[in-house]
Amino acid sequence: MTASTNLPQLVIGGGVVGLHAAIALASQPGHPEIFLLEKEKFLGDHTSSRNSEVIHAGFAYPKDSNKAKWCVEGNRLTYQWLDRLKVPYKRCGKWLVAFNEQEVPALTATLENGEKCGVGGMRPASLAELRKKEPGCADFGGVIFSETSGMMDAASYLRALERCFAAQENCMLIYPCAVTAIHPEKNTIETTRGPMEYSLLVNCGGLFADEIYKMAGGKKDYRIKPFKGEYMIWRKGPIQEVIYPVPRRFLPGGDKDKRLVSSMGVHLHRGVGGDLYVGPTQVELDWSQKTDYNIVTPPQEFALQASQYTKKEIPVGELEPAYAGNRPKLYIDGNPYGDFLILREKKQIHILGTDSPGLTAAPAIAQEVLRQVSAP
């Protein structure tokens, strides 16, 4: 597929994946016009601004999966982008803890998996070392530390990516502008702002990428199911940085459930802005509930989860509802797929299943899009 005609290249979806894909396309020498189309009034209105803002290291995903490859590469690239765009972040690392002795083998499995996936900067740590940084933490069964994990200000990142793309020649953002129909036989689309022709269409629709795939004539049974992740703020919480449980898929039986591939469990993280968050939950929603962002999990549940990290019980009144985001999990033929999927069909590229770690992986996903566009 080459950018051989002067017709525009279109990117559908102004989240972090679409922004990076559009910026990557703008790096092609002599590229045609590039339009980024977003249906909402703001870029990143959905998943890209409703997540944990963690720059993941990449140790949690199956070796050779797209998630592992693009998260490890995306981690490196994301720090470069944050520096280049002067976006606030902290390279604080991440503590991973076993709540009890039974979970310790899962910590070991996480370390081994990280090594297999090429993640640098992971090491066993002691409770004493953790206590020096986090005096308020509980008596864990085991601890490891991931040095390359960090926290970013995702809202600033999106705005900076938007400016970066818009500043380039022949690059335009159009929003609000929803793509309402695609005619692959004519290489045209219809939008709420009128029709457009294209030489290349890149579907970065996140939760709605399955609908765009179908609009474009896609025949396979690809569907995106939303899994809600809710957060509460804990203003009096004693944790200073980022503490996660061992990834759920390394617990006994966890590897059999592909819905758990990106499930890190409820953790505590202090954002770049200084607030401590408890979350995210994982609530499986109905197919149609893609934009249901109500917090439904009771505060008692958050208090219970958060108290596992601290020495004391947490009064429910200390927790305030914050926000929720929906993970776009890809299902193929009715089964959870558990990975990112990039599909190239003639003049179309579809990016499906951008749940976690898509914020981190986005620049690496964009490089893959560019590779596919440049391939003969």
Ligand X SMILES: Cc1cc2nc3c(=O)[nH]c(=O)nc-3n(C[C@H](O)[C@H](O)[C@H](O)COP(=O)(O)OP(=O)(O)OC[C@H]3O[C@@H](n4cnc5c(N)ncnc54)[C@H](O)[C@@H]3O)c2cc1C
Residues within the interface to ligand X (CB under 6 A): 12-18, 37-40, 44-48, 50-54, 56, 178-179, 204-208, 212, 229, 280, 325-327, 354-360
Q: Which is nearer to ligand X, 8 or 358 (CB)?
A: 358
Find the shortest distance in angstroms from Cβ 345 to ligand X.
17
Find the shortest distance in angstroms from Cβ 58 to ligand X.
10
Per the listing, tokens 């193929």 go with: 332
Q: Which is nearer to ligand X, 137 or 158 (CB)?
A: 158
Q: Which is nearer to ligand X, 35 or 250 (CB)?
A: 35
Q: What is the residue-wise DSSP string for 268-288?
A: EEE-TTS-EEEE---EEPPTT
Find the shortest distance in angstroms from Cβ 211 to ligand X.
7
Q: Which is nearer to ligand X, 79 or 104 (CB)?
A: 79
Q: Which is nearer to ligand X, 251 or 264 (CB)?
A: 264
Size of the chain in residues: 376
Amino acid letter at 169?
A: E
Find the shortest distance in angstroms from Cβ 129 to ligand X.
24
**For the chain, percent helix, then strand, then coil, each to nearest 5?**
30, 30, 40
Alpha helices in the chain (DSSP H): 16-25, 66-85, 104-116, 127-133, 154-166, 209-215, 299-307, 358-374
Within 10 angstroms of residue 106's Cβ, the number of other Cβ atoms is 20
The number of angstroms, rounded, from the C-alpha of 160 to the middle of its chain's C-alpha atoms is 17
Contact assessment for residue 196 and residue 10, using Cβ atoms and an 8 Å cutoff: yes
Comparing CA positions, the residue from 13, 11, 6, 30 lying closest to residue 22 is 11
Find the shortest distance in angstroms from Cβ 4 to ligand X.
26
Contact assessment for residue 318 and residue 236, using Cβ atoms and an 8 Å cutoff: yes
Q: Which is nearer to ligand X, 177 or 251 (CB)?
A: 177
Find the shortest distance in angstroms from Cβ 44 to ligand X.
5
Q: Which is nearer to ligand X, 113 or 360 (CB)?
A: 360
Q: Which residue is nearest to ligand X (CB)?
A: 358
Find the shortest distance in angstroms from Cβ 139 to ligand X.
27
Sign of CA dihedral 178, 327, 298, 277: negative
The encoded tokens of residue 356 equal 């976690």
Find the shortest distance in angstroms from Cβ 93 to ligand X.
14
Find the shortest distance in angstroms from Cβ 74 to ligand X.
8
The encoded tokens of residue 374 equal 């440049």
Report phi then psi at 341, rounded to 5. -130, 125
Is 48 in a helix, a strand, or coil? helix
d(CA 167, CA 165): 5
Q: Which is nearer to ligand X, 114 or 280 (CB)?
A: 280
Q: Which is nearer to ligand X, 6 or 22 (CB)?
A: 22
E runs forming strands in 175-284? 179-183, 188-191, 194-197, 200-203, 222-234, 242-245, 267-270, 276-279, 283-284
The encoded tokens of residue 33 equal 């016009």
Q: Which is nearer to ligand X, 17 or 72 (CB)?
A: 17
Find the shortest distance in angstroms from Cβ 54 to ligand X.
3
d(CA 178, CA 180): 6
d(CA 337, CA 322): 29
